[in-house]
């Protein structure tokens, strides 16, 4: 299927050629990718097991994964089965020997510069080369100089193409279906007796029925928090618990769907009646700052500049104490869920606060409002596409804090 | 056949070819088209040998015995002569030999898995050739 037929088309061979062009500029003869984001971005397939992609100076890449999943990965990927290899604990077939032999055959005399992916991340499944792997590859490839080269992928992946954005758009549509299913299930007394895990499950069912592949987030799938759990200090990670919903409490529903490695991620918030004036005040603060943030996001601004403006607004309104001072996190095809842009900030492998957003970037607009003393909090997350003069939120579920009875 | 043939001798190769052709039908070989070279290191004479099997649509097209670097094949299995001998005498399974690193396989493991049962059938035929080692 070509670009004109498929709204989700991504030019993966073109991506590989772009990587190879950068490799040539940097004198890199082969690239050994190990990060989940690199695997998704180059293979168009989910790689749940430890996997690698070897990109030669010219021609097609070859993926390597645990043999039990290699045929499935080849079936999902744009690569044919000759370019997806399985490794196993067998002579000549363990990942180090198999891949090292493969790289040696690519390089004349087994010598050259090999790009690797090294670094650190708050995101557990990032997939940087481990110290052990580095030492084993270095020993198995005595003719190679191993150089850290992940910036090649990071730079190329920053601006999203139309196919990627459409995948996120479709995943966001699925998330909205999940939110509607939750709302339908909660209203008119439906909330009574329900637990956080049950809400996570019924949303998952609705999204899967709509075609979502999974609730991809490593933070426990769909994140649901009720009562005091919505307002944990600085908290923006709430795997669903077995806690039962209670009247007079807040409820936060943060859903995740996946479509062709594109990720939906949207949080919606509720107050279970009876609602106090103070709770409504918190809720209105939250909605107002989300609206203001969405009006502000565009190309040309920076994370630190936006944060200053929004905290200033919250301060004027008297709720700055309740704002977690971060308004975004990075996002890309499955496995890219952490830093925004390049590793060029004052703290290695954290988002550069002075990163200047460009049109075509896709991030998660993310905000957490938390008042632990009152046991109340709200979360907003939504993938947004940055344009020159505005941003485009991909989830369209109405922005409000719903009161349910 | 009463006399023993020297393992990996030209006579043993001829007998192997005859048996593979007569005892393994194309259907039994799943009409496979593939090739595999076995490289035997440290043979009794101190050198190394290769045995290359080439199948086309399940028919044995070629069985080459030689010394030195084998011709290119889809799969290459390398090991000590004694390891292969133990497999042929049914003292060691080829799976165990691979899983303990006694044999080294080069080639696409996913495709190799599809051919594992076929390789077992071939080994079974070869193991019945009376041989001395």
Alpha-carbon gap: B1 to the closest alpha carbon of chain A (Å):
36
Probe site for chain A from B37, B38, B108 (most A CB atoms < 10 A)? B108
| Within a domain: A399 | yes
Same domain, A287 and A342: yes
Contacts of A263 (CB under 8 A, 6+ apart): A168, A171, A216, A256, A257, A331, A333, A334, A337, A383
Contacts of A372 (CB under 8 A, 6+ apart): A228, A231, A232, A233
Number of Cβ within a 10 Å radius of residue A202: 18
Which CATH number does the domain housing residue A24 bear? Answer: 3.40.350.10
Contacts of A303 (CB under 8 A, 6+ apart): A326, A327, A328, A340, A351, A352, A353, A354, A355
* A105 has a pLDDT exceeding 60: yes
A87 to each of A8, A50, A177, B22, B96, how far by Cα in Å?
31, 10, 39, 35, 16
Same domain, A23 and A128: yes
Q: What is the pLDDT of residue B113?
A: 87
> pLDDT (tens digit, 9 = 90+) per residue, A317-326?
999 999 988 8
Distance CA A232, CA A217 (A): 20
Contact A174, A212 (CB under 8 A): yes
Q: Report the residue from A70, A82, A93 with minimal CB separation from B105.
A: A93
Instruction: Work out the end-to-end distance of chain B between its first and last CA atoms, rounded to an integer number of angstroms.
Output: 17
Distance CA B46, CA B63 (A): 23
| Within a domain: A5 | no
| Within a domain: A2 | no
Nearest CA in chain A to B79: A91
Same domain, A133 and A170: no
CB contact under 8 A, B111 and A90: no
Same domain, A336 and A261: yes
| Within a domain: A238 | yes
| Within a domain: A3 | no
Domains and CATH numbers, chain B: 5-128 (3.30.1050.10)
* A340 has a pLDDT exceeding 80: yes
* B109: chain A residues, CB-CB within 8 Å: 67, 70, 85-88, 90, 93, 98
> What ipTM was predicted for this assembly?
0.87
What would the 3-class secondary structure string for A147-216 be? EECCHHHHHHHHECCHHHHHHHHHHHHHHHHHHHHHHHHHCCCCCCCCEHHHHHHHHHHHHHHCCCCCCC
* pLDDT band per the 50, 70, 90 thresholds, residue A272: very high
> pLDDT (tens digit, 9 = 90+) per residue, A211-234?
999 999 999 999 999 999 999 998
* Boundary of a domain, candidates A157, A188, A213: A157
Same domain, A180 and A127: no
CB contact under 8 A, A93 and B97: no
Q: What is the pLDDT of residue A4?
A: 66
* Boundary of a domain, candidates A99, A129, A157: A157
Distance CA B94, CA B98 (A): 6
* Boundary of a domain, candidates A157, A189, A208: A157
| Within a domain: A6 | no
Contact A86, B110 (CB under 8 A): yes
> pLDDT (tens digit, 9 = 90+) per residue, B17-59?
999 999 999 999 999 999 999 999 999 999 999 999 999 999 9
- What domain count does chain A have? 2
* A243 has a pLDDT exceeding 60: yes
Which CATH number does the domain housing residue A211 bear? Answer: 3.90.230.10
A250-285 burial by CB neighbour count: b if 16+ within 10 A, else e?
Answer: bbbbbbbbbbbbbbbbbbbbbbbeebeeebeebbeb
| Within a domain: A116 | yes
Average pLDDT, integer, range A319-341:
94
Q: Which domain holds residue A31?
A: 12-157
| Within a domain: A355 | yes
Mean pLDDT of chain A: 97
Same domain, A26 and A147: yes
Q: What is the pLDDT of residue B85?
A: 93
Phi, psi of A118 (to 5 degrees): -125, 150
Alpha-carbon gap: B12 to the closest alpha carbon of chain A (Å):
27
> pLDDT (tens digit, 9 = 90+) per residue, A151-205?
999 999 999 999 999 999 999 999 999 999 999 999 999 999 999 999 999 999 9
Collapsing DSSP states into helix, strand and coil, what is residue A137? Answer: helix
Residues of B near A (CB-CB distance < 8 A)?
78-79, 97-106, 108-111, 113
Same domain, A200 and A139: no
Phi-psi category of residue A2: left, alpha or beta, with phi > 0 → left and psi -120 to 50 → alpha: beta
* B34: chain A residues, CB-CB within 8 Å: none
Same domain, A190 and A273: yes
According to DSSP, residue A117 is labeled -
Same domain, A176 and A271: yes
Contacts of A229 (CB under 8 A, 6+ apart): A196, A235, A238, A241, A243
High-pLDDT (> 70) share of chain A, %: 99
Q: What is the pLDDT of residue A2?
A: 59
Same domain, A68 and A190: no
Phi, psi of A14 (to 5 degrees): -65, -40
* B8 has a pLDDT exceeding 90: yes
Same domain, A164 and A31: no
Distance CA B74, CA A180 (A): 54
Same domain, A225 and A371: yes
Distance CA B93, CA B111 (A): 20
* B2 has a pLDDT exceeding 70: no
């Amino acid at each position: 299927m070509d670009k004109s037929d498929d709204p989700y088309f991504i030019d993966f061979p073109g991506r590989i050629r772009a990587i190879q062009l950068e490799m040539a500029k940097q004198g890199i003869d082969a690239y050994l990718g190990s990060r989940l984001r690199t695997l998704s971005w180059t293979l168009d397939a989910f790689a749940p097991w430890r996997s690698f992609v070897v990109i030669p100076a010219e021609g097609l890449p070859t993926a390597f994964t645990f043999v039990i999943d290699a045929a499935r990965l080849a079936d999902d990927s744009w690569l044919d089965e000759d370019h997806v290899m399985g490794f196993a604990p067998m002579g000549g077939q363990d990942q180090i020997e198999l891949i090292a032999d493969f790289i040696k055959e690519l390089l004349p005399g087994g010598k050259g510069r090999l790009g690797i992916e090294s670094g650190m991340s708050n995101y557990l499944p990032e997939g940087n080369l481990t110290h052990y792997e580095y030492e084993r590859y270095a020993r198995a490839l005595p003719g190679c100089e191993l150089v850290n080269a992940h910036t090649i992928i990071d730079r190329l992946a920053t601006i999203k193409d139309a196919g990627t954005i459409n995948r996120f758009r479709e995943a966001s549509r699925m998330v909205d279906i999940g939110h509607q299913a939750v709302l339908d299930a909660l209203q008119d007394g439906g909330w009574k007796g329900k637990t956080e895990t049950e809400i996570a499950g019924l949303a998952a069912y609705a999204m899967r029925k709509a075609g979502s592949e999974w609730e991809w987030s490593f933070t426990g799938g769909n994140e649901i928090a009720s009562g005091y759990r919505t307002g944990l200090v600085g908290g923006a990670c709430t795997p669903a618990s077995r806690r039962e919903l209670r009247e007079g409490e807040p409820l936060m529903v943060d859903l995740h769907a996946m479509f062709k490695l594109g990720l939906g991620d949207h949080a919606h918030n509720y107050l279970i009646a009876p609602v106090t004036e103070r709770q409504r005040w918190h809720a209105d603060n939250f909605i107002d700052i989300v609206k203001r943030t969405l009006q502000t996001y565009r190309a040309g601004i920076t994370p630190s500049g936006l944060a200053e403006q929004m905290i200033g607004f919250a301060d004027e309104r008297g709720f700055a104490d309740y704002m977690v001072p971060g308004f975004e996190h990075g996002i890309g095809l499955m496995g890219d869920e952490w830093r925004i842009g390049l590793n060029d900030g004052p703290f290695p492998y954290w988002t550069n606060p002075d990163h200047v957003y460009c049109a075509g970037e896709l991030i998660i607009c993310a905000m957490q409002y938390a008042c632990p003393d009152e046991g109340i909090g709200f979360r907003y997350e939504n993938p947004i596409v940055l344009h020159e003069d505005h941003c485009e939120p991909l989830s369209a579920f109405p922005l409000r804090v719903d009161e349910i009875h | 056949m009463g006399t023993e043939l020297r393992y990996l001798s030209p006579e043993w190769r001829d007998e192997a070819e005859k048996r593979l052709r007569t005892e393994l039908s194309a259907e039994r070989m799943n009409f496979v088209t593939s090739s595999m070279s076995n490289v035997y290191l440290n043979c009794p004479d101190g050198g190394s040998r290769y045995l290359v099997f080439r199948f086309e649509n399940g028919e044995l097209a070629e069985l080459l015995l030689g010394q030195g670097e084998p011709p290119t094949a889809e799969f290459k299995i390398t090991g000590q002569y004694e390891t292969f001998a133990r497999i042929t005498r049914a003292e060691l399974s080829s799976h165990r030999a691979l899983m303990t690193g006694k044999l080294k396989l080069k080639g696409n493991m996913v495709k190799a898995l599809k051919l594992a049962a076929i390789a077992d059938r071939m080994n079974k035929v070869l193991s019945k050739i009376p041989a001395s080692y």
